[in-house]
Amino acid sequence: MRRALVVGAALAAALALPAAAFAHAALLKTFPQASALLDRQPHAVQLTYDEVVEPRFAIVSVTDAAGRSQTTGVPRRSPSDPYTLEVPVRKLAEGWYLVFWRVISADGHPVRGAFTFQIGPNPGPAPQFVIPPLTETAATPTLVAARWVVFLAAMSAIGLFVLRAVVARPLVGRVAGTRLRALTVAFSVALALALVAVPVYVLLATAQFALRSAWEVTALVPLMRASSFGRGFLDFELMLALFAVAAAGALGLDRPERQRRSVAALLALWGALLAAGASLFAPGAAGHAAQTSPRAVSVALDWLHLASGSLWIGGLLGLLVLWRSLPAVRRTAGLAVCVPRFSNVAFASVLALIGSGAGAAIIHLPTLSSLWQTSYGKAIGVKVILLAAALLLAAVNLLRTRPALRVNDIGPSTALLLRRLVSGEAVLVAAAIFAAAVLSSLPPPAKALAGLGTPSAVDGPGPVTQVVDSHGYRLEFHVAPNRVGLANAFAVRVLRGGRPAQGLAVTATFTMLDMDMPTLTYTLPAHGAGLYERSEPAFVMVGRWALTFAFQPPRGAPFQVILIDRANG
Amino acid sequence: MLGTAALVLSACGGGGSSSLTPTVTIPAAHTYHVSGFGPTKGIRPGRPTLVHFTIVKPDGKPLTRYREGKGPHTGADLVIVRSDDSHVLYIDTKNHPNGLISQRVVFPAPGRYRVVIDAYPKGGTALTPSNFQLFESVTVAGTPHLVPLPPFASSEVVSGYRFTLARKPPLRAISPATIAFHVTDLAGKPAHFELWRGALAHAIFIRKGSLDYFHTHVCPPGANYCSSRLGGFRVAGVSSTPGLLKVGVLAPLAGVWRLFLLTYIGGRERVAPFTLTVK
């Protein structure tokens, strides 16, 4: 009953999520500046990000209004600043130019943007550039599927190894005529699958980074370590290979029929466990966990989450393997040895899984409403539901079949129930790992959400018109055309008592809500009749933006109004 | 396993190929442009030539609605300047309902001319600019006798009217300034300026060599329709007393600029050219 209560509490608190998630590169400044009118030739277009990005995966396209490319080379890292990409351009005639860029963040998230500049003094009217899609996701079906296979195989391998080498080992000594060979084979298959899946996943990811077919293997392989994301996962591969060697030694030296291990077997076992544990640091180090503050806590939570999840899924699969491999006459006795031991391990793992997931959720989710307002939060919700269902099956197992196994009184119906519950639990946990693969491919919500006040209105996509009454003023907001990569007009007409209000100092601050990015603040000059207006290319990314308009009246207290706007490409 | 290891190890090389750099294709933008401009050659100097064209909007339809009313910022004007800055024509146009724009132009001399189409569409919004320029060029038949640009002179006499600058103005690029002209009539008294095409004077600036262009106006005091914009700056000229023109200058580039100061005095258009240096 006590454990059932704990399980129930765990269900309620099951904000279990992996800490690994993609971060992104934010564009900090450009040369030429967005919408700038230049009176002299730029030799190159420069883009400065908040992290070092790989030029070999970057697109920096500079085109004129006719769609003609103006670049004379490929993007390269600036010799004077590793955070800056530059692309040389030919002598530019008077006119308007579109810069479209796309980079891969250090941890694999593709980011795109666009802006225009002019060469004057007579550039002509602003063209309506046709901008390619400004959204690109790392959560493509192929990549998510590959990522799922990687995690499922690696976690299963580690869990199967622990089950084989630690949890199920006493079986051979206690139940005569039983062997653990099937577990060893299952472990080997899972590990081999992981060893193949990791480089395939990196290859697929590299192909997406380079916008190439994954079949161009010869060309893509040299680029696999070009991204820190690729380096991280190839390091994961090398660690898994080391684990494979250590595990082979440990299993080769182990004599399960002997109750006590030899010193060599013990050392080999610890070596393999350390290798397995070390390998689980790699995904977090290659993902968002390593870039989320506090970094050490974030990476530790990620590791704990993966480790506990590994013990759970690997153990469940191992129980199913044991079920099939044990002779029918010894199955009940064998399960009576293994299931209670595994239940203890699984119970601790689930607690660690929930604790680490909840901790990571606190770090990654700036507000509770992010759970249902963002894709990241929704993915967490799906994962929580799947894990809750798995925990429900685990609870039934604990309450129904384990007591029967303890007294070795397990009938055919209970045995069938056990197998079905374990199978169902394994399927649900595997599905939760799939949800985690989706989740870790999405950017977490921006921290800015936490500091945001209550919005007065939500609008967009498309031109925005909102009227807000605040602090005795009537405020008429207009945003047009509300598109990314263009100069947008941001205007507010301020009325007090039906008359235009003059003399206010008005600023507008733009905060990206779907990703962490630097904020932009502009002063809105007065244009008479209570109109405060400015045209700026403030929307540099597709998605939700918080527009915080701050008003300082000539007399009276300052106040602000927040609009949530969705800007499209 | 061996294949995997080979893959990983070969990836460790970290080489790369620029041919693998991803690319993107950007289609042509939708923009305001001139369609059917003509004639561009075969033009005889000194003879009326019907210049015609249509401005096409980004949606592919002709621009038919232009700003109206008082002030200089209306319709679509033509500023035509010869390559050596020696001749300038500032011409109003006739706008037909179907968007066709036409006007008879007398080109004064052979040579190559830059045609600036200065358009003021009706109802400027964030998507519809309130003013823009489009550019064409024409060649007038004959052998051009190009004239070197004269150096700065503080005074120019046009049909007996004297336009005088007190001193050589210290102009800088992207730096708004005002320069004062004193204009006297044939009797040496302050000249009376008449409103002509929405302003008391039009100051057309053409840069030597590139024929870059900007245009400001001089209006009566209090006129709020007169300012010209360049980047984030606005400039406007004013004339509050007879004989005095305060001309707004906002040169976008350093270099030698030819200023054509167009006024309407004594019932006729008077054009006073000056050479100015912008640092």
Concatenated DSSP letters for B169-208? --B-TT--EEEEEEEE-TTSSBPPP--BTTBSEEEEEEET
- Lowest-pLDDT choice from A379-388, B16-25, B151-160, B191-200: B16-25
Tell whether A91 lies on the interface with B, counting CB pairs under 8 A: no
Which of these, A412, A440, A186, lies nearest to A313 by C-alpha position? Answer: A186
Contact map slice: A 237-266 vs B, CB within 8 A: 237-238, 241
Work out the minimum CA distance from A125 to partner chain B, whole angstroms. Answer: 5
pLDDT score of A26: 76
Distance of CA A267 to the CA centre of its chain: 37
For residue A296 the two structure tokens come to 């050490």
State how far the Cα of A120 lies from the Cα of A38, in Å rounded to an integer. 6
Segment (H or E) for B229 = strand B228-230
Q: Using CB atoms within 10 Å of the CB of residue B128, give its burial: 0 to 12 exposed, 13 to 18 middle, 19+ buried.
A: middle
Percent above pLDDT 90 for chain A: 46
Tell whether A101 lies on the interface with B, counting CB pairs under 8 A: no
**CA-to-CA dists, residue A127 to A67, A498, B32, B182, angstroms:** 11, 38, 7, 42
Name, in order, each residue with C-beta under 8 angstroms of A40's C-beta and a sequence gap of 6 or more.
Answer: none
Strands B111-119 and B132-140: antiparallel
What one-character-per-residue DSSP string does A66-100 give? T--B-B-S--EEETTEEEEEEEEB-PPPSEEEEEE
The verdict on a CB contact (< 8 Å) between A124 and B29 is no
Taking only Cα atoms into account, the Rg of chain B, rounded to an integer number of angstroms, comes to 25
Tell whether A96 lies on the interface with B, counting CB pairs under 8 A: yes
- Lowest-pLDDT choice from A46-55, A71-80, A130-139, A412-421: A130-139
The overall average pLDDT reported for chain A is 86
pLDDT score of A364: 82
pLDDT score of B227: 77
Residue B104 predicted with pLDDT over 90: yes
User: What mean pLDDT comes out for the span A95-108?
Assistant: 85
- Lowest-pLDDT choice from A71-80, A405-414, B8-17, B233-242: B8-17
The overall average pLDDT reported for chain B is 86
Tell whether A37 lies on the interface with B, counting CB pairs under 8 A: yes
- The helix-helix angle for A141-162 and A412-439 (nearest 10°) equals 130
Residue B155 predicted with pLDDT over 80: yes
Other C-beta atoms closer than 10 Å to the C-beta of A196 total 18
Which of these, A458, A484, A387, A476, lies nearest to A132 by C-alpha position? Answer: A484
Q: Are A441 and A138 in contact (CB under 8 A)?
A: yes
User: What mean pLDDT comes out for the span A113-117?
Assistant: 84
Per the listing, tokens 């980079």 go with A103
Q: Are A565 and A544 in contact (CB under 8 A)?
A: yes
| B31-55 residue pLDDT tens | 899 999 989 878 999 999 999 999 9
* Widest Cα–Cα separation across chain A: 95
Strands A543-552 and A559-567: antiparallel
Instruction: Evaluate the CA torsion angle A220, A222, A226, A227 in order and state its sign.
Output: positive
What one-character-per-residue DSSP string does A453-521 give? ---SEEE-SS-EEEEEEETTEEEEEEEES-BTTS-EEEEEEEEETTEE--S-EEEEEEEESSS----EE
User: What mean pLDDT comes out for the span B61-87?
Assistant: 88
User: What mean pLDDT comes out for the span A25-44?
Assistant: 83
| B156-192 residue pLDDT tens | 999 999 999 988 999 988 888 999 999 999 999 999 9
As separate numbers, helices (DSSP H) first and strands (DSSP E) second, chain A gives: 15, 18
Residue A323 predicted with pLDDT over 60: yes
pLDDT category at A240 given cuts 50, 70, 90 is: very high
A95-128 burial string, b = 16+ CB within 10 Å, else e? Answer: bbbbbbbbbbbbbbbbbbbbbbbbbbbbbbbbbb
Higher pLDDT, A259 or A87: A87
The verdict on a CB contact (< 8 Å) between B126 and A192 is no
Q: What is the pTM of this model?
A: 0.72
Higher pLDDT, A536 or B37: B37
- The values of phi and psi at residue A173, to 5°, are -75, -30
**CA-to-CA dists, residue B73 to A29, A102, A393, B217, B240, angstroms:** 36, 41, 77, 10, 20
Work out the minimum CA distance from A20 to partner chain B, whole angstroms. Answer: 23
Segment (H or E) for B45 = none
Work out the minimum CA distance from B241 to partner chain A, whole angstroms. Answer: 28
pLDDT category at A485 given cuts 50, 70, 90 is: low
Distant-in-sequence contacts of A132-136, Cβ < 8 A, 24+ apart: A132/A100, A132/A569, A132/B24, A132/B26, A133/A569, A134/A484, A134/A485, A134/A541, A134/A542, A134/A569, A135/A542, A135/A543, A135/A569, A136/A102, A136/A110, A136/A111, A136/A112
Percent above pLDDT 90 for chain B: 55
| A264-275 residue pLDDT tens | 999 999 999 999
pLDDT score of A22: 36
Which of these, A525, A430, A545, lies nearest to A483 by C-alpha position? Answer: A545
Name, in order, each residue with C-beta under 8 angstroms of A218's C-beta and a sequence gap of 6 or more.
Answer: none
Which chain A residues are closer than 8 Å to B216 by Cβ? none
User: What mean pLDDT comes out for the span A497-509?
Assistant: 91
Tell whether A100 lies on the interface with B, counting CB pairs under 8 A: yes
Work out the minimum CA distance from A230 to partner chain B, whole angstroms. Answer: 9
pLDDT category at A287 given cuts 50, 70, 90 is: confident
Which chain B residues are closer than 8 Å to A535 by Cβ? 126
Q: Which residue of A has its CA nearest to B173?
A: A39
Name, in order, each residue with C-beta under 8 angstroms of A442's C-beta and a sequence gap of 6 or more.
Answer: A21, A22, A137, A138, A139, A375, A376, A379
Identify the three-state secondary structure at position B153: coil
- Lowest-pLDDT choice from A207-216, A224-233, A481-490, B162-171: A481-490
Which chain A residues are closer than 8 Å to B11 by Cβ? 199, 202, 221-222, 224-225, 230, 234
State how far the Cα of A85 lies from the Cα of A338, in Å rounded to an integer. 57
For residue A436 the two structure tokens come to 């985690």
pLDDT score of B230: 67
pLDDT category at A37 given cuts 50, 70, 90 is: confident
* Widest Cα–Cα separation across chain B: 103
How many Cβ pairs within 8 Å bridge chains A and B? Answer: 157
User: What mean pLDDT comes out for the span A467-489?
Assistant: 86
The verdict on a CB contact (< 8 Å) between B129 and A126 is yes
Residue B125 predicted with pLDDT over 70: no
Tell whether A58 lies on the interface with B, counting CB pairs under 8 A: yes
State how far the Cα of B244 lies from the Cα of B222, in Å rounded to an integer. 16
Which chain B residues are closer than 8 Å to A203 by Cβ? 7
Distance of CA A313 to the CA centre of its chain: 21
* Residues forming a β-bridge with B133: B118
pLDDT category at A147 given cuts 50, 70, 90 is: very high
User: What mean pLDDT comes out for the span A500-523?
Assistant: 83
Q: Using CB atoms within 10 Å of the CB of residue A145, give its burial: 0 to 12 exposed, 13 to 18 middle, 19+ buried.
A: middle
pLDDT score of A517: 66
State how far the Cα of A244 lies from the Cα of A46, in Å rounded to an integer. 46
Higher pLDDT, B155 or A20: B155
The verdict on a CB contact (< 8 Å) between A221 and B125 is no
Q: Which residue of B has its CA nearest to A230?
A: B11
Which chain B residues are closer than 8 Å to A100 by Cβ? 24, 26
Q: Using CB atoms within 10 Å of the CB of residue A555, give its burial: 0 to 12 exposed, 13 to 18 middle, 19+ buried.
A: exposed
Residue A13 predicted with pLDDT over 50: no
State how far the Cα of A200 lies from the Cα of A327, in Å rounded to an integer. 38
The verdict on a CB contact (< 8 Å) between A199 and B7 is yes
State how far the Cα of A56 lies from the Cα of A223, in Å rounded to an integer. 8
pLDDT score of A242: 96
State how far the Cα of A441 lies from the Cα of A107, in Å rounded to an integer. 10
Higher pLDDT, A182 or A367: A182
Closest residue to B26, CB basis, from A55, A61, A199 = A61
pLDDT score of A447: 72
Which of these, A233, A213, A236, lies nearest to A224 by C-alpha position? Answer: A233
Contact map slice: A 195-224 vs B, CB within 8 A: 195-196, 199, 202-203, 209-212, 216, 219-224
User: What mean pLDDT comes out for the span A211-236?
Assistant: 87
pLDDT category at A8 given cuts 50, 70, 90 is: very low
For residue B17 the two structure tokens come to 């190929």
pLDDT category at B10 given cuts 50, 70, 90 is: very low
Work out the minimum CA distance from A281 to partner chain B, whole angstroms. Answer: 19
Q: Which residue of B has its CA nearest to A480?
A: B126
Other C-beta atoms closer than 10 Å to the C-beta of A474 total 17
Identify the three-state secondary structure at position B110: coil
Higher pLDDT, B265 or A24: B265
pLDDT category at A4 given cuts 50, 70, 90 is: very low
Which chain A residues are closer than 8 Å to B229 by Cβ? none
User: What mean pLDDT comes out for the span A189-200?
Assistant: 97
